[in-house]
Amino acid sequence: MKLVDHFQYGLNSPICLTWELTYACNLACVHCLSSSGRRDPRELSTDEAKAVVDELQRMQVFYVNIGGGEPTVRPDFWELLDYAISHDVGVKFSTNGIKLDKRRAAQLAATDYVDIQISLDGATAEVNDHVRGPGSYATAIRALENLAEAGFGQPKISVVMTRQNVDQLDEFKAIADKFGAQLRITRLRPSGRGVDVWDELHPLPAQQKQLYDWLVARGEGVLTGDSFFHLSAYGQALPGLNLCGAGRVVCLIDPVGDVYACPFAIHENFLAGNVRSPGGFAGVWRDAELFADLRRPQTGGACASCSFFDSCQGGCMAAKFFTGLPLDGPDPECVRGFGEQALTARSADTTIPRSDVDHSRSAPRNSRTPKGPVPLALSVRPARDCDESPLAGIALPAGT
Amino acid sequence: MSTNEPVTGPALEAGPVFDPGQPYRCSPSVALRPEPFGALVYHFGTRRLSFLKTPQLVTVVSGLADHSDVHTALDAAGVDPAQRPAYLRALAGLAENGTIEERV
């Protein structure tokens, strides 16, 4: 059996674990995958978070990707960072840069086993701030300047590819080079608030080809988080695993300890359990029914007969789910156009699933009015303490 | 995720000479995590992930420190003579990337 086949049947511990420490965020990016904004009062405490680190150490999870929300706004962020590192759990954290002043930059430059990803979704303030909010470009650049000045070795600039920034790939690379950083580009998913803006922001078919060609020609040393494997059907496979790792080699721990199959799947359908349960995170990873399902051989459904199935594996589960497409059919951005056909074929009363977890501020300063049908909640779950949305838990009639 | 990292395989071009007649050990900077396919290897120095693709290779690597040379470790793990060249190539690759090192 090939290594990648083993991966499909799941591993003893995840290879790539994302841990969102808080839903609190100083920004309100329109495409936020976790609909962050407000802190959740049930957030894991410092001690609970340390207990999770202890467990990761026992499970030999050698590093975690920490995100949020904005993880650095947690007052105990730096304490947890040190705790993880001193327990053999390396940390890569994603930040908008808000807390990376000269002092923190110097502290981080003196710390081993820490990687930093600065989010930047436009190579110019105009393009970036359109999705990430006013001032966010300047904040990110200032953080990069501080890190470079402190001598922090190779931070990453993390870019979500959109219709507005595909043309800026060379400029992103130039910014990365200027600050001694490594460029990382990832795919926009219709997750979290992204469901509201996906139609407007996701790259057009010609841009997808442009992106693929750029990766093939200039992608040496550019990280992708394996997120463009659906583009491999254009021809040459892109470097990486080229498979959906959800629940198999990847998962997410959210700020309240809920464990989801993947960072882009914060929805009760992909909720496997909670780290506060008696078996802890290890119990969820090993025994969750959802994960057992994901680790069974997948049939490929409508895609199985496609000659490119081996290279794209039907694409991204979350992208399908949050556009209302069946999970065993084509990805909405299928490079052969089957996804577009499937999107067009959705009937007027197709419910677009929406996460029941929403920490957006009631009046996000960078929000937009959703266009088209109002997304529906697939099912009702008890309202949470932190649900600020007036629509929380209420299913609206379609087509309003 | 760091799966763009090289998977252990054939020896790379340059680097320290791998001599299976010498005593070796798994690097103290390395942790092996048992997995169904073999083991995941993490090097705390280079922060690289790689993979040992068979359980038998895990036995060999873990057992290196207990044997006078690599050949003896291969014998002790019961490696099929027909497989020996492939295992030696894999071990040369592991020496190259710092997973195993000569014992002094």
CA distance A252 to A278: 18
Which residue does chain B place closest to A184, by CA atoms?
A: B1
Q: pLDDT at residue A268 above 80? A: yes
Mean pLDDT rounded to a whole number for chain A:
89
pLDDT in tens, A50-61: 999 999 999 999
Q: pLDDT at residue A176 above 50? A: yes
What pLDDT, on a 0 to 100 scale, did the predictor assign at position A236? 79
CB–CB contact B47 A90 (8 Å): yes
Band (pLDDT 50/70/90 cuts) for residue A376 is very low
**DSSP letter at A265?**
-
What pLDDT, on a 0 to 100 scale, did the predictor assign at position A384? 41
**Domain range summary for chain B, segments of one domain joined by +:** 10-16+24-102
Contact (CB, 8 A) for A328 and A302: yes
Peptide bond into A399 cis (omega under 30): no
Q: pLDDT at residue B96 above 80? A: yes
Burial A9-33 (b: 16+ CB within 10 A, else e): ebbebbbbbbbbbbbbbbbbbbbbb
The mean pLDDT of A74-100, rounded to a whole number, is 97
The answer to whether B42 contacts chain A (CB < 8 Å) is: yes
Band (pLDDT 50/70/90 cuts) for residue A72 is very high
Amino acid identity at A396 = L
Band (pLDDT 50/70/90 cuts) for residue B46 is confident
What pLDDT, on a 0 to 100 scale, did the predictor assign at position A297? 83
* β-pair partners for A273: A259
Q: pLDDT at residue A387 above 90? A: no
Could you tell me the two tokens for A46?
């410092």
pLDDT in tens, A135-161: 999 999 999 999 999 999 999 999 999
CB-nearest to B33 from A13, A90, A241 is A13
CB–CB contact B40 A90 (8 Å): no
Q: pLDDT at residue A97 above 60? A: yes
CA of A123 to nearest chain B CA: how many angstroms apart? 24
Band (pLDDT 50/70/90 cuts) for residue A226 is confident
What pLDDT, on a 0 to 100 scale, did the predictor assign at position B15? 55
The mean pLDDT of B55-81, rounded to a whole number, is 96
Q: pLDDT at residue A369 above 70? A: no
From A95-99, A227-231, B32-36, the region with the lowest mean pLDDT: A227-231
CB–CB contact A62 B42 (8 Å): yes
Could you tell me the two tokens for A367?
């929000």
From A204-218, A314-328, A370-384, the region with the lowest mean pLDDT: A370-384
CB-nearest to A11 from B1, B35, B42 is B35
pLDDT in tens, A155-164: 999 999 999 9
Band (pLDDT 50/70/90 cuts) for residue A398 is very low
Q: pLDDT at residue B9 above 70? A: no
Could you tell me the two tokens for A348?
């007027």
Q: pLDDT at residue A177 above 50? A: yes
Contact (CB, 8 A) for B51 and B8: yes
Helix (H) or strand (E) holding A253: strand A250-253
What is the three-class DSSP state of A92? strand
Report the residue of B3, B35, B37 to disrupt the A interface, i.e. the one with the largest count of A CBs within 10 Å: B3
Which residue does chain A place closest to B53, by CA atoms?
A: A3
Band (pLDDT 50/70/90 cuts) for residue A227 is confident
Could you tell me the two tokens for A204?
């057009």
User: What is the 3-state secondary structure of B26-95?
Assistant: ECCCEEEEEECCEEEEEECCCCEEEEECCHHHHHHHHHHHHCCCHHHHHHHCCCCHHHHHHHHHHHHHHH
The answer to whether A250 contacts chain B (CB < 8 Å) is: yes
What is the three-class DSSP state of A30? coil
* β-pair partners for A115: A92
The mean pLDDT of B62-77, rounded to a whole number, is 97
CA angle B3, B7, B11 (to 5 degrees): 150
What pLDDT, on a 0 to 100 scale, did the predictor assign at position B16? 67
Band (pLDDT 50/70/90 cuts) for residue A317 is very high
**Fold for domain B10-16+24-102?**
Outer Surface Protein A; domain 3 (3.90.930)
Q: pLDDT at residue A295 above 60? A: yes
A3 or A335: whose pLDDT is higher? A335
The mean pLDDT of A103-124, rounded to a whole number, is 96
CB-nearest to B3 from A12, A90, A240 is A240
